[in-house]
Amino acid sequence: MSDRDTVVIPSLKVSIAPSDLDSPPDIRNIQYYPFARVLQLRVLQIVCGISFLIIGTVAFIVEKGKMNLGLGIPTGGATILAAAASIHTTRGFGGYRTSVFNPGSILRILGPSVKVAVPLTLLWVVACSFMGLLLLNSVKVISCWNGDQQCIVNADTVEEDELSDLLILAILELTLTILTFVAVFSLLRIDCKYDPD
């Protein structure tokens, strides 16, 4: 290789990315809405909803048609529907729309308009109500666990080996319920904190 074929690489690297100091002072302190985090939490809610459906169906079969832990079926359906509707109406995914609610109003976290806020709120009230009932039923099954069939379900409907299955299902449903509630409250916090208006 000759000297004229040699490429010289400068030892000083120049950054082409702008720094915070390059931007005007009024733009520097803007907090950007965390779309990626919101989408992750919504997908988590949908996955929990699908898991509710599966575990609730198994519990419904184990309990031979009782709707104690089988409440996972409507809980899962309501959670999936509410999370999917929330993804569809989340600020920024379909283009930014200013809210019709006054600045500082708690209703701003529900959606950009009343037409969106009312059905979305109803969906989440139904989903959270089912999750609350499922939470109570799961805690009841776990707290009653002492091998007494009467404490959990009717003794004539559940066999001895199925009682341990109910305990495992109750623990799984309790875990999913807590995880879904954490995601709901995290999303409420994000919407309150990053309200761009």
Provide the CA 186 distance to its chain's centre, in angstroms: 8
Q: Which two tokens stand for residue 96?
A: 């930014």
Provide the CA 112 distance to its chain's centre, in angstroms: 20
Q: Is pLDDT larger for residue 60 or for residue 117? A: 60
Residues β-bridged to residue 95? 92
Q: Is pLDDT larger for residue 160 or for residue 120? A: 120
Angle of helix 160-193 relative to helix 35-62, nearest 10 degrees, comes to: 160
Percent of the chain residues past pLDDT 70, beyond the cut: 61
The Cβ of residue 144 has, within 10 Å, a number of other Cβ atoms equal to: 17
Q: Is the pLDDT of residue 44 over 90?
A: yes
Q: How many secondary structure helices (H) and strands (E) does the chain include?
A: 6, 0
Confidence of residue 140 (pLDDT cuts 50, 70, 90): confident
Q: Which residue's structure tokens are 């529900």?
A: 110
* pLDDT of res. 119: 87
* pLDDT of res. 192: 75
* pLDDT of res. 66: 80
Q: Is pLDDT larger for residue 153 or for residue 62? A: 62
* pLDDT of res. 2: 59
What is the average pLDDT value for the chain, to the nearest integer?
77
Nearest Cα neighbor of 48 from 172, 162, 192 is 172
pLDDT 10s digits, 86-133: 887 765 555 555 666 666 666 666 666 777 778 888 999 999 999 999
CB of 50 within 8 A of CB of 76? yes
* pLDDT of res. 49: 95
